[in-house]
A and B are shown apart, each in its own frame.
Chain A
Amino acid sequence: MNLPVEEIRELVGREVAYTAPEPLGRAALRYFALAVGDDNPLYTDAGHARAHGYRDVVAPPTLICETNQYAGLPMDADGYAGHSWHLDVPGARLVRGGNDYTFHQPVHPDDVITATWRIESAEEKAGKLFVISRATYTNQRGELLAVNEETLIYVEIP
């Protein structure tokens, strides 16, 4: 195993936060719902949402974990404009290991989102390097909205 496990392990605890320059907005909810083909009126009809216990339209639950809207980052050479740790793991390719979303509170159009990303752990298992990266999403009142735990797997290129 030539993967730089120790070097990556030293990064555990590293944290970076992004705060959106504006509220999420009603159009972002409607655009996402339209793009994924979800016609649930909870996302577009405030009266319907209120009738089911919300104070306004809500975001489709996974929107907050899927969007890069809050990041304000420039597009990189691959066209990607979201958070990345840019971990340098020579001789390895990155495989996405999956996501674990926990939804704590509904997300509304007036929420100004802060996403705080943290490297939670780095460990070697079966010749692969597993890095857990966690995003915690809060709003302008410091209310916890959701958590997104992402597993990044670095596999040695033979």
Chain B
Amino acid sequence: MKAGDEVPALERTIGAADMIAYAGATWDWHRLHHDAAYLRARGLDRPVVDGQLFGALLAEQVQDWLGPDARLRRLRFRLLSMVFAGESVRVTGVVTGVEGPLVTVEQKVLVADRVAAGGTAQAVLP
């Protein structure tokens, strides 16, 4: 493993049912993620995917790639544009550093060519 290596992409379509499941699983029922009248009043025509979900996808990509003996140590991410119900996201990653057992990966959450979120994950190998 070395800087420049690509991490296999993770793809997911986030439908209304997924968003309801996520709202329940995180105890967060914010109307932005499901309430049509609330969204209309704010000029939005579809529910907005809870950006926190992308943290879970960024973690999953790195954990899947490094395997069950690796431990995720740090994850930083920033939301850059909204993702709406029914859209498909693709999580990409590139290794930017390997120092002993510590691996650093720069990640992006993309909707087609639009960057929805960017992040940096650090994990420790066994």
Contacts and interface: CB of A to CB of B under 8 A. Distances in A.
A, B: real partners? yes
Nearest to A106: B71
Interface string B28-68: 11111011001000000000000111011101100110001
B7 interface: no
B113 interface: no
A68 B24 CA distance: 10
A112 B83 CA distance: 33
A33 to B, nearest CB: 9
B125 to A, nearest CB: 13
B18 interface: yes
B74 A103 contact: yes
Contacts of A32: 25-26, 56
Contacts of A48: 68
Nearest to B62: A61
B72 interface: yes
Interface string B54-94: 01110110011000110111111111000000000000000
A102 B28 contact: no
Contact of B79 (A28, A36, A98): A98
B88 to A, nearest CB: 12
A35 B29 contact: no
Interface string A30-68: 011011111010100000100011000000111101111
A96 interface: yes
Contacts, number: 113
Contacts of B51: 96
A81 interface: yes
Interface in B76-126: 76-79, 126
B60 A60 contact: yes
Interface stretch (A9-17, A71-79, A119-127): A71-79
A68 B76 CA distance: 19
Given A79-B35, A96-B51, A98-B77, A35 B68 contact: no
Given A60-B56, A81-B28, A106-B71, 9 more contacts: A31-B25, A36-B56, A36-B60, A40-B60, A40-B68, A65-B52, A79-B34, A99-B76, A103-B73
The 8 closest A-B pairs by CB, nearest first: A98-B78, A35-B21, A35-B25, A68-B27, A52-B68, A79-B29, A36-B56, A62-B55
Interface of A: 28, 31-32, 34-38, 40, 42, 48, 52-53, 60-63, 65-69, 71, 75, 78-82, 96-103, 106
Interface of B: 12, 18, 21-22, 24-32, 34-35, 38, 51-53, 55-57, 59-60, 63-64, 68-69, 71-79, 126
